[in-house]
Chains A and B, each alone.
Chain A
Amino acid sequence: MMNRIFEIDGERYDVSSIVDGEISKRGDGACWFYNNEGSHFVWMVRDGDRIFVRMNGRTYQIDEIDPRSMATDGAAAEDTAKAPMPGTVISIEAAPGQEVRNGEILLTIESMKLQTQITAWRDGVVDEIHLAEGDEFDRGASLVSLKGEEE
């Protein structure tokens, strides 16, 4: 049987899908979890690949990771700045092919009425600006990529 992979606060956990325990749901998010050690009252809701749990006065967000996606993650992702939240592109200060220094402003975005500057996270060359001025984007959208280091 295949293991399942969950991510909590940036940490990944590879767990057996055979669980010691069971869960009883009340229907409104309230649940009882039972295992050999006893029972625990928690609030839990699942939305696609995200699981939210409220336990002992703390809120946790757990993301279930597709094991098949693991291979393609990694190095490539670090060359692209992703949108930290949904917003709009205000201005673009760099162009593809341009050499940039660490900390140099690449573009300015606005989210929830707050402007943020996306700056180069290392020295390098701009590979691609994924959006145009005025474009709206969702959280996680690619904003700008730098060319791979030391090609």
Chain B
Amino acid sequence: MAKITKTLIANRGEIALRIVRTLDALNIASVAVYHPLDAEAPYVEAAGEAVEIEGDTPVGAYLQGERIIEAAKQTGADAIHPGYGFLSENAAFAEAVEAAGLVFIGPRAETIRLMGDKITARTFAAENDVPLAPSVTLGGDLAAFLKAAKEIGFPLLIKASAGGGGKGMQIVEKADELETKVSLAASEAERAFGDGTLYAEKLVGNPRHIEVQVLGDGQGNAIHLGERECSIQRRFQKIIEEAPVPSLPPKTRIAIHETAVGLAKATKYRGAGTVEFILGSDGAFYFLEMNTRLQVEHPVTEMITGIDLVAEQISIAETGKLDRVQEDIIFEGHAIEARLYAEDADNGFLPATGPLLVFKPPKGLGVRVDGGVKEGAEVSSAFDPMLAKLIAYGTDRETAVERLRAALEETVCLGVTTNIDFLARLATHPAFLAGEYDTGFIAKYDSDLKPEAMNKVDLEILLAIACLSGKGPFAPPPPAPEPYASMGEWRN
């Protein structure tokens, strides 16, 4: 296989910038694509070249597979890195890239297809001794589906077969909610993925969400780079992730690693991938899905292994070989990532928009910031509201937690509502400090995670600052000027 000399990044934001950094380090030229709304984004400035792309919507621009392949050919790129989201798990795109004579930095299209459909993925996993939670698929006969779903029992989790990122997902607590939730999930799935196929699965009460990073050579060899704990979620999306998983019995840890590697080997996985599991309080774990791409939270694995996952992806794409064997992977220290979102954490985590007027990310020993926006940028509803990822590393978990807390306190984000204060409250909560939490964490400690009441002194200072911040826009108009006032110093 050939050496890659120039790579087009079919993505935007922080992940595009993060990929440019590795390409720079490897002396590979980089090409960005951007919708006009992103013209001034840091990743566009950082890339060696940039090509503007259009779409029906801003997000749609990044889904224009043909146009993106054309941009790669125009600029003489020999490979495409899809990042995460957008076209990263689109098998037809992976095929089209290779048909155009370019290298797709990711798994083979057939693996993406197999794992991209939750039903075929589950069937394949089951055939390869990966444990699954009891479930049923909606195959057109709604009545039969509802009946079978009721037989599994409540609570139930309804998911989109083609889904990901929590879209099309519904929790059904009682039988009488089932039909409404099914129709809502189907319509959301249809809109998000163009496929309304659903399945219902037994909901494991307050499970932990644990995932394993794997690397495969595409010929049946695979290794793991340890696991990540991703249980702190809101709206089914992760906001804090860490590696390694705190308080996990060694036997379970080994079993989860072996299961993930077994699945990667069975699919003859090529490149970097993630096998996600849910872990019940009884220690039993079940397959959730396999993500055939780089994960948002991959930096925590990089921090504890010292391995650049994007560089590994590129090396595998170039050589079809793994650079290392399992014994070469050494885990050192602890890393925690917190996702900074433009959202109102105290009001249902609703996304927020507005100008990012002041943005001062944290710095210092053991603090890594993967960001995609700069001060002055407008946070619009056109894209995902994630602004940056703050990753703290320490020789042990305590140090990592302490550095994360300091980094969150140092961060300044003004002009648009963000979850920075919420993250700080999370990162200092006793249950988080103890490392004992599950996916029910945010709901369980809801009242602890609310902001403390303001003290009187702070309130007085705040109101004084507000008064001094400028004239109220609604202040009554100034009195009419005296006849000579407008003449200034020239009056005699």
Contact = CB atoms under 8 A, between A and B. Distances in A.
A73 interface: no
Contact of B462 (A4, A31, A55, A85): A55
Interface in A11-49: 13, 15, 17, 19-23, 28-29, 31, 33, 35, 37, 40, 42-49
A10 to B, nearest CB: 10
26 contacts: A2-B476, A4-B472, A4-B475, A6-B463, A22-B468, A23-B468, A37-B457, A44-B469, A47-B355, A53-B466, A54-B358, A54-B412, A54-B413, A54-B414, A55-B461, A58-B421, A58-B451, A59-B414, A59-B418, A59-B421, A61-B417, A85-B351, A85-B381, A90-B191, A114-B235, A115-B188
Interface in B66-115: none
Interface residues of A, number: 59
Interface string A110-132: 11111101000000000000000
Closest 9 CB pairs of A and B: A66-B474, A29-B358, A52-B414, A86-B381, A23-B468, A57-B409, A46-B469, A112-B351, A45-B357
Given A19-B468, A44-B469, A47-B357, 13 more contacts: A9-B451, A13-B459, A13-B463, A19-B464, A22-B468, A28-B358, A49-B472, A54-B412, A55-B465, A59-B421, A65-B474, A66-B472, A85-B351
Interface of B is mostly: mixed
Contacts of B64: none
B167 interface: yes
B415 interface: yes
B381 A53 contact: no
A23 B458 CA distance: 15
Contacts of B188: 115
B1 interface: no
A52 B360 CA distance: 14
Interface string A82-100: 0011110010000000000
Interface of A: 2, 4, 6, 8-9, 13, 15, 17, 19-23, 28-29, 31, 33, 35, 37, 40, 42-49, 51-62, 64-69, 84-87, 90, 110-115, 117, 139
Contacts of B347: 84
B473 interface: yes
B424 interface: yes
Contacts of A85: 350-353, 381
Nearest to B358: A29
Interface in B412-432: 412-415, 417-418, 420-421, 424
Contacts of B459: 8, 13
Contacts of B184: 115, 117
B192 interface: yes
B462 A53 contact: yes
B191 A110 contact: yes
Given A52-B415, A85-B353, A33 B472 contact: no
Nearest to B476: A2
A2 B463 CA distance: 15
B458 A87 contact: no
A20 B464 contact: yes
Contacts of B348: 84
A43 B358 contact: yes
